A and B are shown apart, each in its own frame.
Chain A
Amino acid sequence: GENVEQHPSTLSVQEGDSAVIKCTYSDSASNYFPWYKQELGKRPQLIIDIRSNVGEKKDQRIAVTLNKTAKHFSLHITETQPEDSAVYFCAAGTGWRGYSSASKIIFGSGTRLSIRP
């Protein structure tokens, strides 16, 4: 079945350094790759997403890269700050599946990112 693997499960970086989280997916039909940030007790919040017709996307300190051939995508956070501490989930989505059934996203297992002051 469809599967998304995410690494590492925990990551600790010094404030100001960069953090990289990597994901691989199994379904070659996947065409949408969102990244969610979840703080303790709160909802997952979309921070950036990329679609399969794009190789890289950047939004201020956050960037995502996609390699469709290798079926992997990565999140890069530069100049990390204490407020970046959270759990980050990657996900892979497949498009419209036909009448009456919506697209779904499959989540990775999450990365707990800690920023050391």
Chain B
Amino acid sequence: DAMVIQNPRYQVTQFGKPVTLSCSQTLNHNVMYWYQQKSSQAPKLLFHYYDKDFNNEADTPDNFQSRRPNTSFCFLDIRSPGLGDAAMYLCATSRDKEGHSTDTQYFGPGTRLTVL
């Protein structure tokens, strides 16, 4: 009955080698978020999709891209991973309604990325 699924749970890549992380959801939520979380820090929002509309955070490096081919799936692409990109990547979903206050975000289990 998993609601937000992330694959893989652990990913090892080499410096500069592109990597893709995936997230899927069974909640039919219209919003999907990607966060980066480094050790002992709070999750940091990278970007989010509101339906098909992509919203980038101002300080998210160009190295990070995202795709959302349909409501259920969202991908995080790291074009040229550096050592500083090693982190836990968390996907979250919510159901945002026009004119309503923030709705609860549901997090996936995360993908731990190691860069060698």
Report the interface size for chain A: residues with CB under 8 A from the other chain. Answer: 28
Judged by a CB distance under 8 angstroms, whether B64 is at the interface is no
* Contact with B110, one of A43, A46, A100 (Cβ below 8 angstroms): A43
Rounded to whole angstroms, the CA-CA distance of A104 and B92 in the bound complex is 11
Report the interface size for chain B: residues with CB under 8 A from the other chain. Answer: 31
Q: Which of chain A's residues have a CB closer than 8 A to the CB of B100?
A: 95-96
A-B contact count (CB 8 A): 74
Q: Is the CB of A103 within 8 A of B107?
A: no
* Contact with A49, one of B104, B110, B112 (Cβ below 8 angstroms): B104
Judged by a CB distance under 8 angstroms, whether A51 is at the interface is yes
Judged by a CB distance under 8 angstroms, whether B75 is at the interface is no
A46-B104, A46-B105, A110-B41 known; 13 new pairs, CB 8 Å cut-off, are A31-B101, A34-B105, A43-B108, A43-B109, A93-B101, A96-B96, A96-B97, A96-B99, A96-B100, A102-B30, A102-B48, A104-B45, A109-B42
